[in-house]
Amino acid sequence: MDSEMDDVALIMAGLVTFHWRRLEYLFDLKLWILRSDLCIPPALSSTQVMSRSLSSGKRHLLDENVHLILKHLGAGLGVLYALLAIVGSVSYFHLSSVNMANDMFWANYNMTGTHVFIADWLNEQLILGVSNMTFAMDIDEINQNGPFDQTSANVQSAGNFGALMQYSQLNTIEATISGLRSTDAAAVPWIFTQYCFLDFGQQWELANSATRLQRCKSNMTSNGAVFMESILRNINFHHFYEAVGRSFDVAITNELRQSSAGLKWLGMVSNPMKAPLADEWQNFKRIGLVNTYTVTNMYGSEYPFTLQYGNSSFRQAKQSTHKMYWGFANDLAALTQNGSGITGLSLIRIRNDAEYYASHSSCQ
């Protein structure tokens, strides 16, 4: 060993010395080599040196044997660790290909099998009126006929389910107000309702005949749909006016601007107001519906899947409801159309315009 050099010199030369179990070790930082030697005290008699040498030799031989055993044991453990790592990796890939094949960690879930089965069964329950039901999907009562191992599949749903929902479950005040406020303001004139009054105070009448007005006053005043104010207060009035402003001026606004009460009412129609609404049945529009179910995995992540997706659309070529009443949207169009018979007339029953409109509305 480099016993002539002190510890500081050894460190500066890149050599680190340390003692362990009566052995002195020298680690060369430059070559990354570890050297070992016996640690012998400097001042010993010859008898002590001989005795210590014999004892140290035995210990050294024992230490070398232990070191050799530990070396082989470490190598064996390393090989075992490598084999276990390989087996674990293969097992992980095999497991993940089934149990973690999708983001939900739902084994064997796919869009043409499991999704179609669940969606068809839920759509059937919805048509039957079943709701707020807790059940296990693996019971015998839940079953569906049909192939669920195809490369492509369609979810079966009722085309008129949107209309069923509108007239059965989505007819509450909350649902109606929410629907109005999410409706495109330009499409509001196509809401099929025959208005009786412009305002809730019934100051301005919109019924197109005296007989209709009498029916309105007798049994329709509790229906918010016959008051145009209930619609205008729950939509973006500025967007609505941008879409039908000229026609709306002829039909409504010009008459209101002739009185302070009318001007005041126009100034407040954009304020929210809630009233029960029940519009009329119609078949010139197909009521759309977007219905989904949600899968929540064990980590709380939610994944929505479509049960039914149908856009609302017009079907004017096949409608029959306009034969009795052609709707507010057609009123607005006719008021600004030359030759319609009601061009430039107001829909408010104040002046003789209403009587003229009623006598020329047979085209409805």
Among candidate residues 235, 267, 240, the one with its CA nearest the CA of residue 251: 240
Instruction: Report pLDDT for 86.
Output: 92
Q: Is the pLDDT of residue 360 over 70?
A: no
Q: Is the pLDDT of residue 122 over 50?
A: yes
Q: What angle do CA 192, 264, 182 make, to 5 degrees?
A: 35
Q: Is the pLDDT of residue 174 over 80?
A: yes
More confident residue, 9 or 306: 306
41-50: pLDDT as tens digits: 555 445 554 5
Instruction: Report pLDDT for 218.
Output: 92
Q: Is the pLDDT of residue 314 over 50?
A: yes
Task: Answer yes or no: pTM beyond 0.75.
Answer: no
Instruction: Report pLDDT for 35.
Output: 80
When pLDDT is averaged across residues 14-20 and rounded to a whole number, the result is 80
Residues of the chain above pLDDT 90, percent: 10
What distances in angstroms separate CA 143 from CA 17, 108, 113, 347, one per listed residue? 77, 17, 13, 57
Q: What is the mean pLDDT of the chain?
A: 79
d(CA 243, CA 185): 8
Q: Is the pLDDT of residue 39 over 60?
A: no
72-112: pLDDT as tens digits: 888 888 889 889 999 999 988 888 888 777 888 888 888 88
Reported as a pLDDT band with limits 50, 70 and 90, residue 359 is very low
As beta bridge partners, residue 341 has none
Residue listed under structure tokens 């070396």? 71
When pLDDT is averaged across residues 138-155 and rounded to a whole number, the result is 82
When pLDDT is averaged across residues 132-142 and rounded to a whole number, the result is 79
The backbone region for 358, taken as left when phi is positive above 0, alpha when psi lies in -120 to 50, beta otherwise, is alpha
Instruction: Report pLDDT for 2.
Output: 47
When pLDDT is averaged across residues 277-281 and rounded to a whole number, the result is 58
Q: What angle do CA 223, 262, 344 make, to 5 degrees?
A: 90
Instruction: Report pLDDT for 260.
Output: 92
When pLDDT is averaged across residues 256-285 and rounded to a whole number, the result is 73
Which positions ≥6 away from 7 have C-beta within 8 Å? 17
Instruction: Report pLDDT for 51.
Output: 53
Contact 144, 115 (CB under 8 A): no
The backbone region for 172, taken as left when phi is positive above 0, alpha when psi lies in -120 to 50, beta otherwise, is beta
Among candidate residues 286, 301, 306, 78, the one with its CA nearest the CA of residue 164: 286
SS (H, E, C) the chain: CCCCCCHHHHHHCCEEEEEECCEEEEEECCCCEEEEEECCCCCCCHHHHHHHHHHHHHHHHHHHHHHHHHHHHHHHHHHHHHHHHHHHHHHHHHHHHHHCCCCCCCCCCCCCCHHHHHHHHHHHHHHCCCCCCCCCCCCCCCCCCCCCCCCCCCCCCCCCHHHHHHHHCCCCHHHHHHHHHCCCHHHHHHCCCCCCECCCCCCCECCCCHHHHHHHHHHCCCCHHHEHHHHHCCCCHHHHHHHHHHHHHHHHHHHHCCCHHHHHHHHHCCCCCCCCCCCCCCCCEECCEEEEEEEECCCCCEEEEEEEEECCEECHHHCCHHHCCCHHHHHHHHHCCCCCCCCCCCCCCCCCHHHHHHHCCCCC
Backbone φ and ψ of 359, nearest 5° = -80, -15
Q: Is the pLDDT of residue 320 over 50?
A: yes
Residue listed under structure tokens 């060993």? 1
Which positions ≥6 away from 71 have C-beta within 8 Å? none
214-237: pLDDT as tens digits: 999 999 998 988 999 999 988 888
Q: Is the pLDDT of residue 200 over 90?
A: yes
Contact 235, 180 (CB under 8 A): yes
Q: Is the pLDDT of residue 312 over 70?
A: yes
Half-sphere CA count of 325, side-chain side, radius 13 A: 16
More confident residue, 248 or 133: 248
